[in-house]
Amino acid sequence: MAKSLKGVSALSSLAPDIAREPPRGLEGKLRRSVRWWNTPAGSVVLQVSSLVIFLVIWELFGRLPRAIPIPTPDQSLQAGLSLSPLGFLHDCLLSFYRVGLGFLIGAIIGIPLGVVIGYSPLARGLLFPAVEVLRPVPPIAWIPLALLFFPNIEGMIVFLTFYGAFFPIVYNTIAGMSGIPEMYIHAARSLGSGSWTLFWRIMVPAMLPSIFTGLHIAIGIAWLMVVAGEMVAVTGGIGALTWQAYQTTHYPLIFVGMAAIGVLGYVSSQIIRALARFVIRWDIS
Amino acid sequence: MRASRYSRRMELSLSVLSIGLLVLVWQALVYLHVYRFAYIPSLPQVVESAKDYVFSSDFVSDAIASAIRVFVAWIIAAVVAIPLGLAIGWSKTFSDLSLPTLELLRPIPPIAWIPAGILFFPNIEGSVVFICFIGAFFPILLNTINGVTQIEQTYFRAARCLGAGQREVFRDVVVRGAMPSIVVGLALGMGIAWMALVAAEMIAGQYGLGYMIWRAYSLAQYPLIIVGMVAIGLIGAGMSVCIRLLGRKLTPWQNR
């Protein structure tokens, strides 16, 4: 309804030579809704100008008279180009590997644990309170203990990414498990499915969307943790690059590091999203 | 779904057993020197140092410093992000103008802002608050936008039909309709701000609970690390309870 009305008014605005009454009331509102910035092309123009405005503001901040001026976009770009591509790639891949490993361990432990807690009331009673009691302590607060415990930095950073990824995965798996409508289970049972079929054909597909929600949150937290771990430990990786840029006063490089962290985080969350779309083909969203 | 088979009492005793087992496993690993667990402080050591620390003025000043930083950052984030999110959710034009930049900045985790935050602000206090602000900002913003865009179109039409002007629609449909989602964002934002605070204090702080656990590590007062972690966890949990109560006040029509 609204669409067709909009269509009509769009057409009439293409024919301005036809004598019309001045727009008023509802007609006026509909006409207003097809000004140039509401067209698809206008929308693109606005979106591009958003980024341009962002760069201009950044540039202006860089020109503020300060004791240590904030690097401008141009200086940051120069700093990025002056990096050795191989070293930079190595740092990126190292962080990516640490995130991936911790995330994978988190999923391998977290998903079965969530399934068990969601499935058996006894397991829930025995395991869930222990998980619940650890949860309010932010994973970042584990850094000193992790430094103390692990003989090498590599183990410590992977532990941190694992620990960050673990909780969202467990919680969303439990939520997925306990969110399965009782009806599905009754229906499958009355159609004669055994426990094996019930689990793999009914429960697993029903909780997969929730598990992927958990994985999506987890990869974000794993990135946060890897950056924190690398900033503390300073043994390679993109977080270390960013922190060292600050310490060695190569300030423009800070923004290169941040941009790289943002891109890598974005890419990994898109990978999870693509995986979810592939695995959960039946889900329209 | 099947948990109702157990009584509350049974559940409680299982919880006690569960947490007891966790502590027991920790103690066993420490005393039996499994792998490198001998480096981890044991429960009696932790209790011992907790007694000293909790009743000292250090604890009060650290806790208050951390709480104020995170609270100020959270308030600023809410004041900026809620109106921004409402505007983005409501107006396509405003969304086109601001969302691309925000989407560009969003994947950068708050921790990655630490060096830039230190660079931006002349004092540590400002940079710590800024980093917590970044942490709280995006969850609040995204949940506000989501809250507005998920309001049913029928509500807008109904309000319009009943003669509501732009202002009334904004106040009674947009703000109210988005409120449950905003409350979720506020709670998430506080959680992430608290986490960012610990990181910022650890890397850049001069006092506060995050700095305290880092100092305990550098000075080899290892039991104090766990005391600090427990304090951070308890205060964080307390804050999320407060926000849940605030949320109930803000959305009284939601029956829980």
Q: Which residues lie below 8 Å from residue B250, measured CB to CB, with a gap of 6+?
A: B179, B182, B183
The total number of residues written for chain A in this structure: 285
**B58 and B161 together in one domain:** yes
Q: Measure in Å the smallest separation between the Cα of A204 and chain B Cα atoms.
A: 16
**What's domain A76-279's superfamily in CATH?**
MetI-like (1.10.3720.10)
**B85 and B159 together in one domain:** yes
Considering the domain boundaries, does residue B172 fall inside one? yes
**B79 and B129 together in one domain:** yes
Cβ contact A224–B110 (<8 Å): yes
Position A19 pLDDT exceeds 80? no
**B194 and B220 together in one domain:** yes
Dihedral angle over CA of A223, A224, A226, A227, nearest 10: 120
Cβ contact A149–B37 (<8 Å): yes
In this prediction, residue A31 has a pLDDT band, given cuts at 50, 70 and 90, of: low
**B33 and B159 together in one domain:** no
Task: Name the nearest CA neighbour of B184 among B44, B85, B52.
Answer: B85
- Ranges of each domain in chain A: 25-70, 76-279
| Phi, psi values for residue A195, rounded to 5° | -60, -40
Considering the domain boundaries, does residue B255 fall inside one? no
**B13 and B111 together in one domain:** no
**B92 and B177 together in one domain:** yes
**B1 and B97 together in one domain:** no
Contacts of B15 in chain A (CB under 8 A): 125, 129
Distance CA A15, CA A124 (A): 68
Tens-place pLDDT, residues A224-269: 999 999 998 888 899 999 999 998 988 999 999 999 999 999 999 9
Q: Measure in Å the smallest separation between the Cα of A154 and chain B Cα atoms.
A: 15
pLDDT number for residue A29: 53
Q: Which residues lie below 8 Å from residue A195, measured CB to CB, with a gap of 6+?
A: none
pLDDT number for residue A14: 39
Work out how many domains chain B is built from and give that number: 2
Question: ipTM of this predicted complex?
Answer: 0.88
pLDDT number for residue B5: 56
Cβ contact B18–A148 (<8 Å): no
- For B109, the closest chain A residue by CA position comes to A224
- For B194, the closest chain A residue by CA position comes to A138
**B107 and B31 together in one domain:** no
Q: What is the DSSP string of B105-124?
A: HTTS-GGGGHHHHHHH-SSH
Distance CA A8, CA B155 (A): 24
Q: Which residues lie below 8 Å from residue B202, measured CB to CB, with a gap of 6+?
A: A140, A143, A144, A232, B210, B211, B213, B214
**Domain containing residue B190: CATH number:** 1.10.3720.10
- Chain B interface, best mutation among A189, A258, A272, A273, by max B CB count within 10 A: A258
Cβ contact A138–B232 (<8 Å): yes
Cβ contact A47–B99 (<8 Å): yes
Please tell me if residue A69 touches chain B, with a CB cutoff of 8 Å: no
**B22 and B55 together in one domain:** no
Cβ contact A245–B10 (<8 Å): no
Q: Measure in Å the smallest separation between the Cα of B207 and chain A Cα atoms.
A: 15
Contact predicate B210/B201, CB 8 Å:
yes
Distance CA B208, CA B132 (A): 13
The total number of residues written for chain B in this structure: 256
- For A233, the closest chain B residue by CA position comes to B203
**B16 and B60 together in one domain:** no
- 3-state SS class at A132: helix
Position B77 pLDDT exceeds 90? yes
Please tell me if residue A159 touches chain B, with a CB cutoff of 8 Å: no
Range of the domain at B135: 43-250
pLDDT number for residue B126: 92
* Residue B154 burial (CB count, 10 A): 8
Considering the domain boundaries, does residue B256 fall inside one? no
Candidate from A54, A224, A266 with C-beta closest to B111: A224
Tens-place pLDDT, residues A181-208: 889 889 998 998 888 888 888 899 999 9
**B99 and B175 together in one domain:** yes
